[in-house]
Structure 1
Amino acid sequence: MPLNTAERVRIIDTETLSDDWYVLKKTTFEFLRSDNVWQRQSRETYDRGNGATALLFDPARETVVLTRQFRLPAFVNGHDGMLIEAPAGLLDAASPEERIRAELEEETGYRVRDVEKVFEAFMSPGSVTEKLYFFVAHYDSASKVAEGGGVASEGEDIEVIELPLEQALAMVARGEIVDGKTIMLLQHLALRLASASA
């Protein structure tokens, strides 16, 4: 009978390297390989909690709402740092549905009641513990209750962008939208619409 994963992992030592913005740990462990040999390994994990993201979509006009904001990690990796993204935020003890509704209003100014969860995904499982909950939500002009732009005290300076879904997909193809979660949501929506019209 095959072992479950928990039976193949022995934690030897865990060391906290940083506990400032989020928590960075170094873990030494033994893993029972498929050849039945225990191998000692060491890995760093970055724990920032889980998050939620959503794509706002107006089915009548086939438009989406995205944001543009500065991201330092992208900047130091050679990008200009101004990423176009689907709104997102960490859960901070809220349910994914509660968090993403609040985040949509803070970042875009749109208030939505119903959000549809479409999938969950680990975005960088080699080093980051975060799991993202992905949603799609419908909006229209009546949903706009504020300017959006994020929370200045949290360092947010967010531009709200509304554009046709077709244009957003073309921006992915041209490398103008390079954020992973956003690409996943746009492609999910495009596949869904294609399937519905087939």
Structure 2
Amino acid sequence: MAQNRVEYGRDDVEIAAREVAFKGFFRIETIRLRHRTFAGGWTGYFERELFERGEAVCVLLFDPQRDCVVLTEQFRIGALADEHSPWLLELVAGMVEPGESYADVAQRETAEEAGCTFNELLPICNYWVSPGGTSERVQLYCALIDSAGVEGVHGLAEEHEDIRLAKMSFGDAYAAVECGRINNAATIMALQWLHIHHSRLLQKK
């Protein structure tokens, strides 16, 4: 028999203090708070550090005419200990700036990082990256493109971007997921979504 479930929301969290602990390329906040418990009542006050990242948009570029994807390859400081390389195969991606919509960011980053435009933008999902410690949330898309001539090295020099494009068949890209060569969450999720919807999207040739 189903039990009654108590659903909690933002009003069930009480923030007593919030301050910036560090501000550099990123920002870290220290938050003192308490929240309601499932048993009733409240927790005691406690502190947590929050890695403040904001929202990002990640775009899987897919060419249904050629059945291929275009990924980016670039250095990632968080992957210094990666057993293969800190240069990861990823999606086109960028942070949401004030006043921008998700679609705006997808268009901007597709132009900056891949030097192309898309014909159609298909939403996949919106998810929290690692909510135990960071505020980052990602809107994931699949963008349908014509990949003819999409190649080379891109990115903004003032942002120290050095982004090489990697064009490969969808089969090879999915095999790279299965063998662990592609090992970052957004790219795995997008390619798994494409695997599910692959036959339908091929009809958009």
Which digits, 9 at most, give the CA deviation of each residue in 1:18-73, with x for residues without a partner?
12212211111111111113113321111122110111111122100001000011
In the alignment, is residue 186 of structure 1 matched against residue 191 of structure 2? yes
Amino acid at match of 2:112: E
Q: Give the letter aligned to residue 43 of structure 2.
A: Q
Verify the 8 A CA contact 1:106 1:148 in the aligned structure 2.
no
Q: 1:25 maps to which residue?
A: 29
Deviations for 1:146-189, whole angstroms, at most 9, x for unmatched residues? 85511122010111000011111111111100111000000001
Q: 1:196 to 1:19 in 2, by over 3 A?
A: closer
Offset, 1:78: 5.6
Are the aligned partners of 1:105 and 1:148 in contact in 2 as well (CA < 8 Å)? no
Question: Which position in structure 2 is the counterpart of 1:58?
Answer: 63
**CA, structure 1 residues 95+196, in 2 after alignment: closer, same or farther (shift >3 Å)?**
closer
- Shift in Å at residue 195 of structure 1? 6.8
Instruction: Determine the structure 2 residue equivalent to 1:36.
Output: 40
Separation of aligned partners in 1, 2:163 and 2:57? 17
Give the whole-Å Cα distance in 2 for the aligned partners of 1:32 and 1:77: 39
Query: What TM-score, normalized to structure 2?
Result: 0.87
Percent identity over paired residues: 29
* Equivalenced residues, count: 196
Pair 1:45 & 2:50 matched? yes
- Which of the numbers 50, 70, 76 marks the counterpart of 1:71? 76
Mapped partners of 1:148, 1:114: distance in 2: 24
SS in 2 for 1:43: strand
Q: Give the structure 1 partner of residue 133 of structure 2.
A: 127
Q: Distance in 2 between matches of 1:56 and 1:180?
A: 16
**SS of match in other structure, 1:153:** helix
1:108 alignment partner, one of 107, 114, 125:
114
Q: State the 1:105 CA deviation.
A: 1.3
Alignment of 1:156-167 (within 5 A): 156-167=161-172
Aligned-partner Cα distance in 1 for 2:194–2:7? 38
- State how far apart, in whole Å, the 2-side matches of 1:107 and 1:85 are: 11
- 1:118 Cα shift? 2.1
CA separation of 1:173 and 1:50: change in aligned 2, threshold 3 A = same
RMSD (CA atoms): 2.2
- Describe the shift of the 1:141–1:14 C-alpha distance in structure 2 as closer, same or farther (beyond 3 A): closer
Instruction: Report the alpha carbon displacement of residue 12 of structure 1 after superposing the two structures with TM.
Output: 1.6
Aligned pairs (5 A) from 1:4-23 = 4-23=8-27
Please say if residues 111 and 143 of structure 1, whose CA atoms lie closer than 8 Å, have aligned partners that are also in contact.
no
